[in-house]
Structure 1
Amino acid sequence: MPCRGGGRPGPDGKDGDRARLAGRSGPRRTGAVRGPRGGAAGHRARLQTATVSRAPARLVQARVGSRLGMADRTSRTARRVFKRTVPGPLHDERSWAFHLGPGGRDLVLGIEWLREAFLLREPGYPSGITVPTIVDIPTGHVVTNGFERITLDLGSRWAAHQRDGAPDLCPERWRDEIEDVADKVYRDVNDGVYRCGFAGGRQAYDEAYRRLWERLDWLEERLAGRRYLVGDTVTEADVRLFPTLVRFDAVYHGHFTCNRQKLTELPALWACARDLFQTPGFGETIDFAQIKAHYYVVHHDINPTGTVPRGPDTRGWLSPHGREELGGNPFGDGTPPGPPPPSERVPPLGSTTVDV
């Protein structure tokens, strides 16, 4: 459940948490790195995220969650405790690489590959090396890579370190509905595009395709008359939907053969996606060039040539969406985050290449 935690199946149908350190140590481990001391520049924990890959649950969701709640540079407590870094868009059998950083390393942890932090925590760690991951800076050990727990813990266990005015993404009065909608989004949309892209045969593909488009049709109808998926503010449900929408035309439509329609051909979903993109804390986490570089270069079995497409044109993301007429306030009683620090700024829309 999105507001309470718990595992869900991955694209292979297995319990995703069993393949993650969070499943071995329990989600409370995320709260174990809240101390105010330690690490470079006084930071205690390092959140490894990326601008690419399987975003809903794993990447942009964690980055958006932290941008909405913890990234304001005026939050001195958060700055003492929490520091983020972003690997490059590529990985191989050795895991995510810090190949875009000076010297090809994470400058705080001193590692070239994210797997090094996993192996410090559990020598011989046999499962997937995934992001987002929280690493304890003093020890260099992975604390958790349980993506569903991380975003929730940023808003609960780490609440004491949030900036003033951080919004509540899972308010109690809407909690049951948020959990229900977010579960549907995760199962049929976030995972659904992957089930299409990596289907092992016609039957598996047809089933994944059917479920994906039935859910997208349901979302299109739901969003036709309301600005947000639940209530009148941005919630965890919107945060989970956004990363799949923002990647849909650039990657999932063609690369994963989810090609009944483009996002830009679905009026309510396209307007909703633009509304979120233009909301502080969302669009500033998106680097379309790195997104495309990751999917089209790393997935050799789907794209053997590694050719990265030049399109689509992304300038439409800044076009008027008209969703304000539906009412609501994205941050409720809270306030928007400030601009990201220079180290986390992404290229402007229209940038089409990335040095990989």
Structure 2
Amino acid sequence: MGTDENRQTQRLGAPEDFVRDTWYPVLESKRLGRRPVGVTRLGRQLVLWRDAQGRPVAQDAACPHRGADLSKGRVVSGCLECPYHGLRFAADGACVRVPCEGSTRPIRADLRVKGYVVREGLGLVWLWWGEEREELPPLPWTHELPDAGAGSCTATLTWNVPFARVMEGNLDLHHFPFAHRRWAPGMGTLLDPYTARLEGDTIHTHGVLRRDDGKPWDGRSGFEAEIRVLFPHLVLLRFGSFTQAMAAVTPIDAESTWVVFRYRSSLPLLGGLVAWLLVQSEVRLIQPEDYALLRDSEPRHPAREDFHLVRADAGIALWYRLYERRLEAQRRALPSGEVVQRAVR
């Protein structure tokens, strides 16, 4: 395969290219009650439900019998019942009832639905995307990300934008005075000082947007922000002394992305109201403008070589470096020829 074909293969954005061996949030906990919920995450159609003990369960949504959507079924006696023929599946995926066969006939072992490891934390249901292990790592950044509850407000978005483009946007500070000029009149356009460094799998950035007056920063003026990213998909932002924000980004498929974001304010008495107002401004004002720009950016599945990055993009450059290295390592681990087969399908 020639160089151009290799490059195209690397940019396909196929589900196999999602960064593995990490926890991805897939749903807000409050959205998962007594009824099954269907979602598409990481290129898979999933059904989420709660067992008799209230623990979340994630399984493939297609019934192994004849492919009916299990998310349209119901939970009965701690098992998931198919809406088409009434087959029931336990939390471990085993089929425990086939009504048309009666209660005395043995149930075939291949009537099993594939399951995924899930845990709850920070008001979210997280799914482990990677190889099975005897001991999985803990949920990431549980002591860093703002929890749901008093003083916080959470919202979710579904964007027709590939995962990498969404993460690129989360690390971009110097777009604000231009993309959102209506909401930030007079904001300075000079990003100085600005630093970006990599520490393990964490990208640390800190910058100040201020007026370009030819003078050194006085330590007070301008808009100051700290953005940290735990690769590949968790973002923590701090603005001033009282405001903290997070974003957790999960691929839906190769072309679309699910984003959950949360604001938290520690302002006495008014923290919850401030967080709610910030979330509303994001949903109604800021995010629609970001979405329109990211959706139309080309190429949809970029590599670092497609960009002519400037100093203010140093955090983005670090993220793409990690992303490309991780995907390359995953491709090398695939059986010989599998990448080529994906490219020509």
Settle same-fold status: TM greater than 0.5: no
Q: Which has the higher contact order (CA 8 A, sep 6+)?
A: 1
Q: Which has the higher strand share?
A: 2
Report the TM-score, using the length of structure 1 for normalisation: 0.31
Q: Which has the higher helix share?
A: 1
Rg (Cα) greater in structure: 2
